[in-house]
Chains A and B, each alone.
Chain A
Amino acid sequence: MDAVFRALADPTRREILDTLFAADGQTVTQLAERFGEMTRFGVMKHLAVLEEADLVIPVRQGRTKLLYLNPVPIEQVANRWISKYAARFTSSLVALDQHITGTEEA
């Protein structure tokens, strides 16, 4: 799970995931074209971190390698970390909102 958080900590890597979410199953070349300001080598370094975290799965198709977003680790993070605290966050946000609203009305 550390690998997932490390992978998600970088904005470029999150952008790569967003790109695959919008269009899954791209080649490294297709992906690199979208990150024109970055070298192919730079994109591949980010992909290695994402693959290490299992967030991106390379699938061989003949001679090419297609990159797919694997949603399972994010689901596991959500189950393990987010849902545990989310209820508390939501209730304190509601309390904060009521507090602010109350102050404004006063």
Chain B
Amino acid sequence: MVGTAHVYQIYIAATPEEVWRAITDSDWTRKYFHHTSFVEPPVAGAAYRTVTADGRDAVEGTIEEMTPPTPGRPGRFVQTWHVLYDAALAAEPPGHVEWTIEGVGEGLTRVRLVHGDLAYSPLTWAHVKDGWVWIIDALKTLLETGRPLPSPDS
């Protein structure tokens, strides 16, 4: 059965600020997010687009919220998510991607990712389901070891 959302949670041995930088800064996203980067640095309320290493469109949407983490308050990075890297997925309506970055101890951060509003996007729902597990794994590996997770196909 196709659901409306995927939810993922992981603990990363890094500060909330380090995790925040990794999800919002292209120098970091390139190292774990299938080599994709933001065309322009993301700004709250503005449109964004990400591209692959060879310049092809990956994802586009709007940055709905961009609240960096501060002591005692979780960071929130919320985007609409319209896939461009595949024609069939691009034909489906955009979903929502919400990162919540919360410090839960000295040098420990809880990262929650919700990819929602997928009720009318069954192909995207199925496609990103396992994809996010890999991204989150790669994010954790990069932040904890300083090295990117090798791609399964390389």
Select which of A24, A54, A72, A75 is within 8 A of B3 by beta carbon: A24
B12 to chain A, nearest CB (A): 11
Taking CB as reference atom, which chain A residue is nearest B7?
A68
CA distance A79 to B9 in the complex (A): 16
Contact partner, B9, options A22, A23, A25, A72, Cβ 8 Å: A72
B3 touches A57 (CB 8 A): no
Query: Is B133's beta carbon under 8 Å from chain A?
Result: yes
Residues in B with CB closer than 8 Å to A24 are 3, 5-7
A-contacting residues, B42-98, CB 8 Å = none
**Neighbour of B112 across the interface among A57, A71, A75, CB < 8 A:** A57
Residues of B within 8 A of A69 (CB): 7
Interface size on B, residues (CB 8 A): 16
Question: Which residues of A lie under 8 Å from residue B11 when comparing CB positions?
Answer: 54
What bracket does the count of chain A residues touching chain B fall in? 10 to 19
B101 at the interface (CB under 8 A from A): no
A71 with B8: CB separation less than 8 A: yes
From the candidates B1, B112, B114, name the one contacting A22 in the complex (CB within 8 A): B1
User: B4 — which chain A residues lie within 8 A by C-beta?
Assistant: 25
Instruction: Give me the interface of A with B, judged by CB distance under 8 Å.
Output: 22-25, 54, 57, 59, 68-72, 75-76, 79
Closest 10 CB pairs of A and B: A68-B7, A24-B3, A57-B7, A23-B1, A72-B10, A70-B9, A75-B133, A57-B9, A25-B3, A72-B8
